[in-house]
Structure 1
Amino acid sequence: MDRAELVDRGSSIIDRLTTTQAPPPWWLVVATGVAALVLVSYRPLWRLTRNVVTIAHEGGHALFALLTGRRLNSITLHSDTSGLTVSSGKPYGLGMILTAMAGYPAPPLLGLGFAALLGAERITLMLWTAIALLAAVLVKVRNVYGVCTVVGLGGLVFAVSWFGTDTVQAGFAFLGAWFLLLAGARPVLELQRGRVRRLRNTPGNVDSDADQLARLTRVPGIVWVLFFGVIAVAALVVGGGLLLSDATGVCIPVVSGQSCPAPG
């Protein structure tokens, strides 16, 4: 690719960031939803794709640490798909509560945000928003596996947005949004199963996000698990409606509002 072609491609990306793109055919929206469901439900694939959820989860902790005035020290991502975000500040209070609370809701809410962009036909903007968020996370990643994971995912999104055809970009964008929406609930279920197992084996020595929040707020951990689950389900319902209503022409009043035709 020579310099003129590079400038041309860059100008095209900038133009697409500020304009809308044609919605993909309905079958592509449905097919990417089915593919995302397979990525979430099939265990061998989930062991790999869960890394994406971990990045979003730790990014949620990191964002609220910064928003509440805490000092963000590091993000670590592990090959077993666990992660750790370390921040400095008071070990109690609203800032600590919001920081601890932000992890599990982050993936489904991010999926909802992406669905809103795709529902507004902003496919390129959605892809480049993902690149920007990954770059922001990368700044604080402090281990080799984490750097490789974030760079690899960011490179994939960049390659699709830079070299992919309109159909490829749309398919990848809808797959990503569907995946985050559908993947929001499974970590919550895994969280509760892990809590039950650890409470049975080592009572009083459970250190999940829900149990950390229970110690900070004196609200039982199971209530926080239910809170995370409600957010995941609500994001899936609304986000799924946004993805389906525009591309398929199916009017869903909850998310379509005034775009629904009046009764005949």
Structure 2
Amino acid sequence: MDELVRNATARLLDSGNVAALIAGVVALVLVLNRSTWLPLRNVVTIAHEGGHAVVALLSGRKLNGIRLHSDTSGLTVSTGRAHGPGMVFTLVAGYPAVSLLGLGGAWLVTSDRESWMLWGCIALLALMLLAVRNAYGVLSVVVTGGVLGAVSWLASPSWQALCAALLCWFLLIGGLRPIGELGRKRRRGRAGDSDADQLARLTGAPAGMWMLLWYLVGLVSLVVGGFWLLLMPQV
């Protein structure tokens, strides 16, 4: 056990992993600070609505469009059966999509494939742009894709890795905060048509159970993704 701890500490103190740790601290500050969270929450909303859209298509539903709003809320509209597994899976997908995207990105970064992660995100944003139905949504997706494109084209490999790690941390940490925000809104009676409440009506399982499930997915993703970023070879 002592040797395992020493090896883990040695890896953590590697210069690349110290950079990954700093990126994690920066991401935590960005998520916790209200002035930075409000604009950057648009990135989380994009991933959230993208999760709804992808699962809707995979479950055989027709995707009608995605709207992203300036208050950082979003709406994904799909048509199909109003009940059944397809609708349930579509509603479930939004919140965990953010954390799972961060987890997948962390795996790519620690596998020395940060360029795959960045270009993969750009490709997903380009596809999402085809489904966005309002001007603010188009602006949000284009700006996000433009930033990632600039990093991919202009930054050196080491800076690409650092920026990709920062994005992963932001998604892993930021994926949890909206669930807490939803819980506070529900306690005030202001979220009666939330994903969790719609799932409760469809399945009979309480909304709190779905929120707990999303928290667990987010926490596991954060622990595993953080481990990969901090203790795997290099960032």
TM-score computed with the length of structure 2 as normaliser: 0.91
Seq. identity, %: 54
Structure 2 counterparts to residues 104-119 of structure 1, below 5 A: 104-119=95-110
The answer for the alignment partner of 1:180 in structure 2 is 171
Which residue matches 1:192?
183
2:127 corresponds to 1:141:
no
Aligned counterparts of 2:30 and 2:126: Cα–Cα separation in 1 = 24
Instruction: Identify unmatched segments of 5+ residues in structure 2.
Output: 1-13
1:48 maps to 2:39:
yes
Q: Secondary structure at the match of 1:103?
A: helix
Given residue 201 of structure 2, which amino acid in structure 1 is its aligned partner?
A: R
* Number of aligned residue pairs: 222
Q: What amino acid is the match of 2:150? A: A
Aligned to 2:203: 217
Number of the residue aligned with 1:122:
113
Check the 8 A contact 2:17/2:231 in 1, yes or no: no
Q: Which residue is 1:86 aligned to?
A: 77
User: What is the distance in 1 between the residues matched to 2:123 and 2:222?
Assistant: 23
Distance 1:111 1:189, change over 3 A: same
Q: Distance in 1 between matches of 2:117 and 2:15?
A: 14
Q: Greater shift after overlay, 75-84 or 131-140?
A: 131-140
| 8 Å Cα contact 2:48-2:95 kept in structure 1 | yes
Matches within 5 A, 1:68-83: 68-83=59-74
Q: Which deviations, in whole Å up to 9, do the C-alpha atoms of 1:40-67 show, x marking residues without a partner?
A: 0001110011000000000000001000
Give yes or no for contact 1:124–1:161 (8 Å, CA) kept in 2: yes
Partners of 1:248 and 1:70 in 2: CA distance: 41
Gaps of 5+ in 1: 1-22, 200-204, 250-264
Quote the offset at 1:149 in angstroms: 0.6
The alpha-carbon deviation at position 213 of structure 1 amounts to 0.3
Relative contact order, CA 8 A, sep 6+: which one is greater? Answer: 2
Offset from partner CA, 1:48-95 (integer Å, 9 cap, x none): 110000000000000010000000000000000000000001110000
In 2: Cα distance, 1:24 partner to 1:156 partner: 26
Question: Displacement, 1:211?
Answer: 0.3
- Give the letter for the 1:229 counterpart: Y
* Partner SS, residue 67 of structure 2: strand
User: Partner letter of residue 197 of structure 2?
Assistant: D
1:97 corresponds to which letter in structure 2? Answer: V
Superposed structure 1 runs of 4+ greater than 3 Å apart? none
Residue identity matched to 2:207 = G
